[in-house]
């Protein structure tokens, strides 16, 4: 009943910029925190940035000052604006949202399908 659809991934040169977007749709009563995770080859999935429904943000140390997370509660959409990209940012990026389903008032953690970001010259 709930789906996250991501877009914006691709190939970019070092120092470049990219913007990822993720929209939640379905039978949603409320979307709580939303976030972006990434998983590089051979590594565990890690939190990149998160944002609460009130707009409070948290970033991994590795992306502070370079990435910005934002959201539009009315559209149930979250973005990740990435600047000064480096090869170590190469990974599959996953959108995550805590959702209360309106039909059952049950809570679930929903993941997007992932979008690939490749930083290479």
Residue-by-residue pLDDT tens, the chain, 121 positions: 899 999 999 999 999 999 999 999 999 999 999 999 999 999 999 999 999 999 999 999 999 999 999 999 999 999 999 999 999 999 999 999 999 999 999 999 999 999 999 999 9
Q: What is the pLDDT of residue 53?
A: 94
Q: What is the pLDDT of residue 105?
A: 93
Q: What is the pLDDT of residue 119?
A: 98
Q: What is the pLDDT of residue 33?
A: 97
Closest CA to 93 of 2, 22, 1, 16: 22
Question: pLDDT for 56-67, tens place per residue?
Answer: 999 999 999 999
Greatest extent of the chain over all pairs of C-alpha atoms, in Å: 49
Element (H, E) at 41: none
Contact indicator for 4, 95 with CB cutoff of 8 Å: yes
Handedness of CA 114, 92, 49, 19 (dihedral sign): negative
């Amino acid at each position: 009943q709930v789906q996250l659809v991501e877009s914006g991934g691709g190939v970019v040169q070092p120092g470049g910029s990219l913007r990822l977007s993720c929209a939640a749709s379905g039978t949603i009563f409320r979307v709580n925190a939303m976030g972006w995770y990434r998983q590089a080859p051979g590594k565990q999935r890690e939190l990149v940035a998160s944002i609460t429904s009130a707009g409070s943000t948290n970033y991994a140390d590795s992306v502070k000052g370079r990435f910005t997370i934002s959201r539009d509660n009315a559209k149930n959409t979250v973005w990740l604006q990435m600047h000064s990209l480096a090869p170590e940012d190469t990974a599959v990026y996953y959108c995550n949202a805590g959702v209360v389903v309106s039909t059952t008032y049950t809570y679930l953690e929903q993941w997007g399908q992932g979008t690939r970001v490749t930083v290479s010259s």
